[in-house]
Structure 1
Amino acid sequence: MTILYSIGMLLFSALIRIVALFNDKVKKLVEGRKKTMTRLKSLSFKGRPIWVHCASLGEFEQGRPVIEAIKKKNPKQPVVLTFFSPSGYEVQHDYELADEVLYLPSDRPGNVKKFIKAINPKEVIFVKYEFWYHFLKQLNKLGINTYIVSAIFRPQHAFFKWYGGWYKKMLGFFTQLYVQDEESGDLLQSIGVKNFQVAGDTRFDRVYEISQNSKKYPELAEFCQGCKVLVGGSTWPAGEKLIANYFKINSDFKLLLAPHEIHEEHIAQIEELFSEFTCARYTQLDKAHFNDIQVLIVDTMGMLSSMYRYGDIAYIGGGFGSGIHNTIEASTFGLPVVIGPNYKKYQEACDLILIGAGYSVNNDAEFKSVMDGLLNDGEKLSNASKASVNYVNKMRGATEIIVKELF
């Protein structure tokens, strides 16, 4: 199996070099890996670094609280941050708490030995789903403590299939696996893996920290004052249409909308959807007309995580597409969340629905039923709100557990 895996890595490397000729994102990956191998020759650290690897931007948000805690404990501790995906590297290549930000080289024995020798990490942290055989084997061989954090396992993963012996071997290369939930722990125990601890998801610590330092926007506070408010977070056209159809039936609330894409064409489409009502763009806001505005479109980036503080209910986008966006940001402010049907691979969404703090809808009728219930029944809204914030508070603490082990 190791031979097949190694051949697969060779074929993958060859394939992406071909695809890079036609695809800018893949081209960035190929060129980024080359730059990493060149950069290795000149790396220098004051002390052995802790190496943190994230596949992409979402995993970075889970690894970030750990990096911050490491630097808080020991500001002089060097940190190397690596990404597999350009979507992570391109956004965070200047991350201020990392001494080096690099692409992860291809998982081939020669690359692996060069990389680990140059980095010379004293400890290594992989985030969530990262299982690279040759990297893990070499780290284990060198006796370097290696952890995975915020990991989550499901029965359909290869580790738990009849052919999963080779994959299971990789789990043994880790010093400790920090998993998100008891179900993951039970699955690991079922195949004899004991080097794990149920610690939770570090994203809860990150989101809670953001909420405690959230920005205040007086103009949003004024817009929302005295009204029930639905916050549309990272919305896409399908969800925006859902909200607009309901708004035509019941507009006895205000809508604070932060679309996922804020280019002119999309903003214009939203304005057309809500053309029967008074809309305003945040970047063109006239404070004198607050009382007349029913729909405020936030057409700028970076505000959403703080916006939820002004809402009563959140609709989180993405559930009618490839998958929902971040529900925890809304939950930490005590907002019940409404989402589309594609949520089952997101554990926090499943949990919120289970405890009555989240609602999945498939169509206009279901959205109307949920919204009517929350807007018209104060006790139901209050209970959902309490369940939401209590869930986030219960799930916090993973970062402290992990960093305590590191130090």
Structure 2
Amino acid sequence: MWLYQIGITLLKIGLYLSAPFSEKNRKFLREHKGIFKQLATFARIRQDEPCFWFHCASLGEFEQGRPVIEALKEKYPSACIILTFFSSSGYEVRKDYELANLVCYLPLDGFFNARRFVKLVRPTVAIFIKYEFWYGYLRALKHDDIPSISVSTLLRPDTTPFRWYGGFYRRMLRLITHYFVQDELTGKLLESIGIRSTTLAGDTRFDRVAALCHQAETIELVEEFKGNEKVMVVGSNWPPDTEVLLPFIREFEEQMKFIIAPHNIGEEHLAYIEKSIPYKIIRYSQAKENTISNYRVLLIDNIGMLTSLYRYGDFAYVGGAFGKSLHNILEPATFGMPLFFGNRSYQHVREANDLLKLKGAVTVNDTKDLRYKFLTVWNDEEKQQQVAEICQNYVQTHTGATQKVVDYLERYLS
């Protein structure tokens, strides 16, 4: 145990020593400066209502915790929500999240920081999302008899807790009061190390995307662009995706329209796409309602619209799988449409594997393969409808995890 504390202390020393030579480490120290002062100010003004502390590693985990926060606040408006992040990508996007009473970075773990944090926050329950486990914080919560739960937990047999050398991690996992697991395998893995307080709940992201389907905004410009034509929405494409897509778009832009929402909206990437598709392409920021229908390709040059854009799609290509990782395919799936993505980095994405088995999605090797697989559904209206229903049904049948978590949390609100 003390080895862990020594390791955390050495890490902190290393951060300070390396800061003059590392912008990343300087940024980390700047972001974490003054957190306890912020917490102390909050502690002084906090009312004596139930308080739920949600911790997310980053933005993706926040989207899994968000349905639970929203359901809690809808049913118990006076409940206090503390939201902490480990990474700047989550904090910077959600630092003004309106349903949280306080949003901040999580102080670096360690017994002293953890005890201080827990004493100031005084959570009724601590909720950790997916696979966020911090020994110091879990130990401090256990010491003060504060229950902790893990939501949308997903574990694999080849990870450290289930190796012969994973004793420390097994002890840490046993500090969690209750787990809401995504699949049966995770439940069995936890049982194999003596943890039986689990509920098979699924992934709360399904509840999030199902709600988004009903909440998606109407975008008048995009409605005018689509008209009565078929549209393929290209979401979060990276340069390797773009290279596969450009010849395909040039071939099919007369038969259907395209909405391209790149992951990188830097000027260089946008200009490259425009130069490669010189025929009737317009940026969203430059489009006019009375002329947008004349264009065949709509290039999105802002952040935050993609979810609502999928509602206008008849087909979707989701980027990332030719690079590090496939991006979110649940959002287009919930709107019901055939899905296409690269054939390299998707194996760790559970919903991608599920939808491939169900034939709601297909992987592509290159432009030629995309063209061939696209034509199998393009020329068959009945198959298009069948695939769309497969995707929608997949999302709907996996909803319900949020309600199970909220039902459990209600015991602490009585």
Determine the structure 2 residue equivalent to 1:269. Answer: 272
Name which of structure 1's ranges 217-226 and 287-296 shifts more when overlaid on structure 2: 287-296
1:17-41 Cα deviation digits (max 9, x unpaired):
3444344453333223231122233
Which of 58, 61, 65 is equivalent to 1:59? Answer: 61
Question: How far apart, CA to CA, are the structure 2 residues paired with 1:301 and 1:31?
Answer: 26
Alignment correspondent of 1:90: 92
Aligned-partner Cα distance in 1 for 2:17–2:90: 22
| Partner amino acid, structure 2, of 1:90 | E
Q: CA deviation at 1:291?
A: 4.5
CA RMSD of aligned residues (A): 1.7
Structure 2: distance between partners of 1:172 and 1:234: 38
Q: 2:395 is matched with which residue: 392, 397, 405?
A: 392
Q: Distance in 1 between matches of 2:104 and 2:300?
A: 33
**CA distance in structure 2 between the partners assigned to 1:214 and 1:12 by the alignment:** 44
Matched-pair contact (CA < 8 Å) for 1:279–1:293: yes
Query: How far is 1:78 from its partner?
Result: 1.0
TM-score (norm 2): 0.93
Any conservation in 2 of the 1:356–1:384 contact (CA below 8 Å)? yes
| Residues 137 and 295 of structure 1, relative CA distance in 2, 3 Å threshold | same
Number of corresponding residues = 405
8 Å Cα contact 2:53/2:82 also seen in 1: yes
Counterpart check, 1:255 vs 2:254: no
Please give the secondary structure, in 1, of the residue aligned with 2:397. helix
CA deviations over 1:341-383 (Å, ceiling 9, x no partner)? 2111211111111211111222223212221112122222211
Which position in structure 2 is the counterpart of 1:338? 340
SS of 2:138's partner is: helix
Deviates more, 1:107-116 or 1:334-343: 334-343
For structure 1, the 5+ residue unaligned runs are none
Aligned sequence identity (%): 41
> Aligned-pair distance for 1:273?
1.7
Which aligned segments of 4 or more residues in structure 1 are displaced greater than 3 angstroms? 18-26, 248-251, 286-292
Partner of 1:17: 16
The answer on whether the counterparts of 1:133 and 1:170 sit within 8 Å (CA) in structure 2 is yes
What do the CA deviations read for 1:149-185 (whole angstroms, capped 9, x no partner)? 0110111211111122221112211111111112222
1:346 & 1:7 partners in 2: Cα distance?
A: 35
SS of alignment partner, residue 235 of structure 1: coil
Q: Which residue of 1 aligns with 2:350?
A: 347
Whether the aligned pair in 2 keeps the contact of 1:228 and 1:375 (CA below 8 Å) is no
Structure-2 change in CA distance of 1:143 and 1:370 (3 Å): same
Letter in 1 for 2:350: Q
Following superposition of structure 1 onto structure 2, how do residues 84-123 of structure 1 map, counting pairs within 5 Å?
84-123=86-125
User: Given the alignment, which residue of 57, 70, 86 partners 1:68?
Assistant: 70
TM-score by length of 1: 0.95
The gaps in structure 2 that reach 5 residues or longer are none
Work out the CA distance in 2 between the residues paired with 1:287 and 1:97: 35
Whole-Å Cα distance in 2 between the matches of residues 105 and 278 of structure 1? 51
How far apart are the structure 2 equivalents of 1:213 and 1:28?
36
Report the AA paired with residue 325 of structure 1. Answer: H
Q: Which amino acid aligns with 1:362?
A: N
Q: In structure 2, which of residues 175, 184, 200 is the aligned counterpart of residue 182 of structure 1?
A: 184
**Distance in 1 between the 2:301 and 2:384 partners?**
28
The answer to whether the 8 Å contact 2:324/2:345 transfers is yes
- The answer (yes or no) to whether the contact 1:28–1:86 under 8 Å persists in 2 is no
Instruction: State the secondary structure of the residue aligned to 2:20.
Output: coil
Counterpart code for 2:345: N
